[in-house]
Amino acid sequence: MDDQYTAVELAAELDHVASMSPEMTGPLAMLDEEALGWTMRYPQFNAPHQAFAQARAQHWPRTRTEDTWLQVTTTARALATALRELGDVQLQRCTEQTAWGPCERVLPEQGPCRGANQHAPSPEGTQ
């Protein structure tokens, strides 16, 4: 799960969608999920990510047409363009421990981790 794409690398994957087979819905799901992580830190990706997610939702074996595929590739490219503007940055994830392992939630640009209440207390009250 921990692919650690930079914004530019994820953009390249999204651009690559246009040269994939329309039958290949697996990579679309992965890209959708990856992009969702970026919207948690960078709200400016909400709109292009939602457009891509919606296009993907229309593009199922029984409902897909050339038109739904066109929507998928168009919205993937728009999302790629937005990500590329961010540049060569990685998505920052929380490194705190919880009771069941590393937290790894995407950190917001400002403020504490959304899962802070699930972090394990640090030993002896130190940070």
Q: Which residues bind Zn ion (CB under 5 A)?
A: 94, 96, 103, 105, 113, 115
| Min dist. Cβ of residue 123 to Zn ion (A) | 17
- Whether 21 and 64 have beta carbons less than 8 Å apart is answered as no
Nearer to Zn ion, 55 or 94 (CB): 94
| Min dist. Cβ of residue 99 to Zn ion (A) | 12
- Residue 17 token pair: 């969608």
Contacts of 71 (CB under 8 A, 6+ apart): 55, 58, 59
Nearer to Zn ion, 32 or 96 (CB): 96
Of how many residues is the chain composed? Answer: 127
| Min dist. Cβ of residue 103 to Zn ion (A) | 3
| Min dist. Cβ of residue 74 to Zn ion (A) | 35
Say which DSSP state 115 is in: T
Nearer to Zn ion, 26 or 123 (CB): 123
- Residue 121 token pair: 């207390």
Nearer to Zn ion, 61 or 101 (CB): 101
- Residue 122 token pair: 């640090």
